[in-house]
Every structure is written in structure tokens, then in C-alpha cells.
Structure 1
Amino acid sequence: MYDALIIGAGACGLMCAVQAGFLGKRVLLLEKNAQPGAKILISGGGRCNYTNLNTSPANFISGNEHFCKSAFSQWTVNDTITFFETYGIYGKEKTLGQLFPATDKAKDIVNVFISLCTDFGQEIRCNADVMEVKKEDDSFVVSYQSEGRIVSVRAPRLVLTTGGLPVRKLGASDFALKTAQQFGLRIAKTAPALVPLTVTGKDAEWFAHLSGNSIFCRVSNEQISFEENILFTHWGLSGPAILQISSYWKPGEWIDIDLLPDRKISSLIETERNQNGKKMFLTLLSSVFPRKFAEALGKYLPVDKNLASLNKSDLAQIETQIHHFRIKPAGDKGYDRAEVMRGGVATEELSSKTLEARKVPGLFFGGECVDVTGWLGGYNFQWAWASGFVIACNI
């Protein structure tokens, strides 16, 4: 009855089903949740930043930096924009190339797919908890539980688009990874990505005291840097810059924060001191940072001195703390607070052109369960759409 079975009705699975419909192929889409597109609906605060205008392979972490190039050449950002515009979703650009629906409603994105699946006769079965996957001769047999009974279906192609481990309440699981291992495929080490970082020990109280304060910074490690806001929390740091750097951070490593990336604190001090040496250093800090944060810097800086009395040692200390504020996070907030999963089905196990498993003809993996992890801001959706399209062309 079906050309392919797709397990997981998220971004990649829905796009795969729709694109298969355009090509005259009939698929069955099995979804564990009560409705399709659960993660789409909560993304971007319920607004869904569905792509990023700046997408390139450089915005992705993978065991093979070239792996995603083929998919992105087959389905581009312009293809995403055109696809959604065709069905009434017009984008508006926000920070750093992020594209959101003009309506600010993620459900409009999901509704496009549901409507198209209906038009093409693609079947979506929700509340379908897959129990077993096996291969018999030239077919894949999938057994799932629904409404208290076990149902078995078969097709010559099987597509795994069940996502990763983040957000357990949305049904996140390691199903795709276990299935890949079942068929002898290697899994690249997984970890939470785009995730807040925790601070413990003697500095924990200082960070907690600043909870709710947001500062524009440059956050760096030995691999990369990001200029966006950081957010102080009761348990450490969050905000876009921290989420970005978390994908490149490993336990035990330091992170360097430039608290004033667009100006030099030494130049500000010199200029202000020439005008009014009696001005307190705290007053100067309060002109460039929120007052509460400026006062908190008193733990590290001579905020009770006026500018004229700052000596060379003071200036060196200020330069270091403002432009090279270093932290060693204790850990991260785990999968339930992570946006995505890093790692997944190893890229060498899949054809970059088709996303078919090299060892298992007819078995495909797409979206987050593959070892391709994008930056914050719509990049992971672009990978989901592109990988869904590529698979649809080859099932």
C-alpha cells in the first residue's frame, strides 16, 4: 500500500511526506504524539523561526563538515521561502537573519503540512507508539501500538525522522539511534546542544544575584566566538550567546566573555577622566551596563574609586575583567532545557546525496537524529526541510 513508512511527524518527516506526495509517492507517517509538529509549535516561543537567511555549512557542527552541502544544494533557503510563500506563509526577518512567519504563529507552519498531506492522501497516524522495526526480504515491517492494539505495516522504504533527545515532554527519545544501532550503524557521541550552562561553587551566589539581567557580549572559546546577549539566571548563564557557545563547549573548558565588545574600557576611562577625574568609576560603569550589574562588578573591580585615582594595576585589572571575564561552567541544564541534540547517526554511515544508509538499502535518516547540528536561529529547521526533501526524492 505504501512506498515508504516515515516514523516521526516533526519538521523533517512532514516535509518528506509532502514532497513525496508531489512526486506521486504514497507514505504512512507514524507519530507518537497526539498531534504532528509538536516541536515546531513550541519553537521560537511559539512563533517558529523556520529558516535563516544566512544558512551555510559553516553554521553546522558535524563529524564531516562537508556532509550537509549536498542537501543544501538540493533544497536551498530560497526553496524554503518559496515553498511557504506558495501556501500563504510570508516571512519577516528578525535578528541575524532569522525568518519568522509574518503572523508570528507556528501553527500556521504545521497547518500547511497537514493540509498538503490531506490533499495528497498521505496518511498521518498519531498516538502511534512504535514497538518494533525489522527487515523481511525487501520490506521493512513496523509494529506499533495504538488504542490498546498492536498494528503491523510494511513498505520497501523506511524513514527515521524521530528527532533527538531534548524536551522529553514532547516525546523525545533515542528511537532513531537505537534503530540505527540495530542495523549496525555507528552513532556519533550525543550531548545536549544550544543549552544553558550552570555555575556552581564560590561564584554561584554572584550569578544568582544577577538573575534576569541581560548583557550584550562576545562569548568565545578556542574554536569560535558569538556576539549576542547573555542572560544571568539563578543557576548560571543562558541567552543566545551562551546557547550558541554551548554547542562547542565541553565540561572542564573555560569560556571567555568580552563584556564590552564594541568599545574599549581603557579608552572610555581616559576620555571621561580628561573631562572629569572626580567621576566615580561606578558611575562610568553604570552608563554602559545596567546599574545592578555595574554594582555587582564591585566584587572584581575598584568601583568605589574615582577615575583620577585609578592606577596602572587598577587599569590592568579592569581591562582583564571587562574584556576577558572568564568562567568555567560546572555543566549544562541537560536535554530538557536543550534546543537540539549534538551527535547522532554518524555521517559516514549515510549517503550525503540521498541520506540512505550505506549498509541497509531502503533505510533513511533525516533531521536532528543525524550528526548535523545547526546554530540557534532557524538553521536546524533548514536542515530538517532540506533532509526531508532529499529523502523524498529517493524513497
Structure 2
Amino acid sequence: MTANLIKQTHFDAIIIGGGACGLMCAVQAGFLGKQTLILEKNDRVGAKILISGGGRCNYTNLYTTHKQFLSQNEHFSRSALAQWTVDDSISFFEAYGIAGKEKTLGQLFPVTDKAKDIVAVFTNLCNDLGQEIWCDTEVLSIEQSNEEFNILISRYGNETILTAKKVVIASGGLPIQKLGATDFGLRTARKLGLKVTDTAPALVPLTITGKDLPWYEQLSGNSIFCRVWNDRASFKENILFTHWGLSGPAILQISSYWRPGEYIYIDLLPGKNIVDLIATERLQNGKKMLLAYLSGLFTRKFAEALADHIPADKNLASLSKTELEDLAALIHEFKVKPAGTKGYDKAEVMLGGVDCNELSSKTLEAKKVPGMFFGGECIDVTGWLGGYNFQWAWACGFVIAQNL
């Protein structure tokens, strides 16, 4: 490793990444009297926080447990989530002027609906606690030398080696490249001999191609409350039809459980039975056309799209048992085989990452590399949509800070 300058630092730890995990880690370390330096590639910290929830930041979820997280080690997240709970997150932000409001399904947003207020809590505290933040700083590599780490950085066109006894990798995952996402954390883990599980985009829209695409294109912009499921999971939320396939909360949720080549299933009338509904309607108005009836349950545009698959021009009274069974299958088990996903640049988070078995669940320190900690998205722990991933990040930041 060559550079213009080797700089011995006085920091208790250097934190790579100024996202949710890195910022919480710096602040919590500051509360304990430890001094840290955050190295951030972007020109400001908190890039993903600022765009989350459409700029409103769904910063936690009231119903968080380890069960809302995907990992090859399903119990790994328990310890961190127990050490820093949802109540801890709520109390922390309230103490610095951020009151929360629940919207749906336990999702908590700032009452101001401004993600920048969340970031400001951390930047103000870092300033008050003397925690340094270097933006526009790219970490090129990390080498371990005796009991220290040599961190090669590029800043303002100059390369420098910083030394530190402890390093926190909070550099996120592969989404979203335009926000500075890289595979740095994964590369570093592999370089130091740590296993990394297979990665994939998660909480991501699904694409449709080929002969089925025109059917979805005609419905672009239509949103419907549904139950979406496969063999692994089930979610009740809105889906959104687009000119390239499917999006919306329920689709993003199921995408984390979907694998290429598999089907997903959609119940377009969750909690209801289309056959029973039609039987009731028949008693009052058996002459009503099926298309007209479905237009009362869905939008006219969506009902007309369904007409491609059903005897829409028949009245309710004349529908046969077989036709009703086919209609029930269409409405309650609408079958979709996605071609793929929209990729990392449209994904909220990443599946996979640093193998949890390489880390202590209690401290998040690498078992084989004392002094190196991993937190947040670069670990093989992926939360559901709705504030869970932020709760994981805050918990990781807190836990690591206690052990620096």
C-alpha cells in the first residue's frame, strides 16, 4: 500500500459510512465519551435516510420483532433488537424534538414528515459531542497490521492512510448506486477471510416480459388492495400495475421472498368470496352483466382487463358452476410469473451480505478479525418494508458503540 501520508489517529474508532447505522454508532459512542470519525463517500451524510418514505422517513415500526427479518441465521437479529428496542428509538428521537406518528401497519414517521429532521438530529449531536465527519471521502481499502487497521482513503484528490485500532463497516449494501452504494463492505469482508452469503435486490418491483406485458401495460397506474403470497410469505397491502410489471407495497414485500422462475399469487378480493358475492347479487339482480358487476368491485379499467379471461358479456344468472369456479380462481388466485426484478437501483435494500455466523450477535464484532465491526445493511439481515430496516440500523449502531 502506498500513499502520500500515513496519519496516526487518536480516534477510538473509524466508522465507514454515514448512513443510519454509522450515524447512530457515532452518537452513541459520543455519549460514552469515545471519539469517532465517520468517513462518508457522498457530499453529505444520510443519503438514503433523506429519500426514504418519499422524503418523509419511516424511521421505525411499532411491531418490530426478529420475525420481520430475513437471514440464513434467523435468530441472529434477536440480540441487537433486544439491546436497542423500538421504545428506545422512539425515546431517542423524542428527546431531540422528533415526535412520531403512526400511519399504517405500525409505520412511524416524524410528525413533520421531513426526513431531513432525522438527519439533523445526528449531525447536530455529532457536532455537540465532537464526533468528526469527513464527507467526499472514499475508502479505497483496509489492511490489518498487527493490532491496527490501515485505512487508505482518497479525499480532495489526495490519498492518505489513516490508522485505527477499531473499524466499523457501516457502508450499506448494493442499492442504490446513484446514492453512492458500492460493494465495499462485502469486498472487505471477503478480503479478510469472512464468508459472504449470496446477495440479491430486495423490496424491489417485479417485471413482466413477453406476451403478458401488454396486459399489464394497459393497467399502468391502477392500484388495488390485495393479498399477495407464495410458499414462503403472505402480505396484504396495495399492488400497483406499471408499464413494465408490478410494484406497490405488497409486491415489494413479496419480492424479498421470490426467486427467479417462481410464481406469485394474488387474491384480488382478500377476505371476500366472489362466488358468494355473486350468489347474493343474483337474488336481487340476476340480469346484471358480469362486467358491470365487476366494475363495481374494481375500477372499470381493471374489470375490462379481466374481461379478457372471463365471460364478461354474460349476466350473473346465466353463469355456470364451471364459469364461477374459473372466475374464483382468477380473482382469488391470480397467477403471476415475474421475469425478474428492477434491480439494485430500484431496490430499497439488499438480501444477503456478511454471513451472520462470522459475527458475534451480541457485539457485531467479526470473530476472526478482532476490532472490526459490521452493522446495518451489509450484514445478512434484511427487514420488511415499513421502518424495520431503520430499526435494525439504529440497533446495530447502538450495539457496536457499546463495544468499541
- TM-score norm. by structure 1 comes to 0.99
Residue in structure 2 matched with residue 365 of structure 1 by the alignment: 374
Is structure 2 residue 289 aligned with structure 1 residue 280?
yes
Q: Tell me how many residue pairs correspond in the alignment.
A: 395
Is structure 2 residue 174 aligned with structure 1 residue 161?
no
Distance 1:254 1:147 in 2: 49
In the TM superposition, what are the counterparts of 1:37-186 in structure 2 within 5 Å? 37-186=46-195
SS at match of 2:313: coil
SS at match of 1:256: strand
**Residues 337-373 of structure 1 deviation map (CA, whole Å, 9 limit, x = unaligned):** 0000000000000000000000000000000000000
Unaligned runs of 5+ in 1: none
SS at match of 1:316: helix
Residue in structure 2 matched with residue 328 of structure 1 by the alignment: 337
Distance 1:146 1:253 in 2: 46
**Residues 177-213 of structure 1 deviation map (CA, whole Å, 9 limit, x = unaligned):** 0000010000010000000000112110000110000
Distance 2:124 2:58 in 1: 20
Which amino acid letter does the alignment assign opposite residue 236 of structure 1? G
Residue of 215, 225, 230 corresponding to 1:221:
230
Residue in structure 2 matched with residue 304 of structure 1 by the alignment: 313
Distance 2:233 2:92 in 1: 33
Distance 2:64 2:243 in 1: 33
Distance 2:304 2:251 in 1: 22
Residue in structure 1 matched with residue 324 of structure 2 by the alignment: 315
In the TM superposition, what are the counterparts of 1:25-40 in structure 2 within 5 Å? 25-40=34-49
Distance 2:372 2:245 in 1: 42
State the 1:245 CA deviation.
0.2
Residue in structure 1 matched with residue 263 of structure 2 by the alignment: 254
Distance 2:213 2:157 in 1: 49
Distance 1:261 1:367 in 2: 34
RMSD: 0.5
Which amino acid letter does the alignment assign opposite residue 42 of structure 2? N
SS at match of 1:345: coil
State the 1:307 CA deviation.
0.4
Residue in structure 1 matched with residue 206 of structure 2 by the alignment: 197
Identity %: 67
Distance 1:279 1:234 in 2: 32
Residue in structure 2 matched with residue 290 of structure 1 by the alignment: 299
Which amino acid letter does the alignment assign opposite residue 77 of structure 2? C
Distance 2:210 2:242 in 1: 15
Which amino acid letter does the alignment assign opposite residue 39 of structure 2? L
State the 1:174 CA deviation.
0.2
State the 1:284 CA deviation.
1.1
Distance 1:236 1:156 in 2: 49
SS at match of 1:66: coil
State the 1:310 CA deviation.
0.4
State the 1:167 CA deviation.
1.1
Structure 1 stretch displaced more, 183-192 or 282-291:
282-291
State the 1:154 CA deviation.
1.1
State the 1:95 CA deviation.
1.0
State the 1:224 CA deviation.
1.0
**Residues 72-100 of structure 1 deviation map (CA, whole Å, 9 limit, x = unaligned):** 11000000000000000000001100000
Is structure 2 residue 250 aligned with structure 1 residue 241?
yes
Which amino acid letter does the alignment assign opposite residue 199 of structure 1? I
Residue in structure 2 matched with residue 268 of structure 1 by the alignment: 277
Distance 2:224 2:32 in 1: 49
